[in-house]
Structure 1
Amino acid sequence: MPRDKDAFDTIRPLDFRSPDEVLDEDKMYTVFEIARLLQGLDAEADLDYDTEDVLLSWAIPWVMVNADDLSFADPMADDDPGFYGLR
């Protein structure tokens, strides 16, 4: 349900960091690792399923919006995720 803006103490602008601010140029990351990095967490941080699901809802659009700056590597196995890095 929508809420009035005055119901919130703080409203901030929605700013996404650029890929070069998030990713190391010599590494490739899964979307799960990118999701953690976007939140300032360690790429290997242990998260519960529900938290990881929420973080992915931010990371997937970020990858799509920044596709021109990213490269892609195939998964290591058929049931593994692919990897993304700086172009």
Structure 2
Amino acid sequence: MSTGRFTLRALAVLWPAFLMAGVLEMLVFALVDPATLHWFGGAPVELAPAGVYTLAFFVFWGVIATAGALTQLLHQTADELNQAESGPGRPRWPA
């Protein structure tokens, strides 16, 4: 089974983002008690602490993965983008 370039790049972004989301989770919730959280309007967050931890983890993971994906995108040259996107009727990026 051959692993494509996209899969390798996705794993290069998602795995470190997963690890850093775990670290950020530990740092944030070492200082914040999920039972005392309130929404912006002042109403208490009515989620179990495990739900707050889970939701926060996925938000952290998504934000960090987005930053990594943007870094991967901006690191590509025009030739790499044209090679990945080439095909009949597809526009090419200027070099």
The answer, yes or no, to whether TM exceeds 0.5 is no
Normalised to the residue count of structure 1, the TM-score between the two structures is 0.29
Normalised to the residue count of structure 2, the TM-score between the two structures is 0.27
Q: Which has the higher strand share?
A: 1
Whose Rg is larger?
Answer: 2
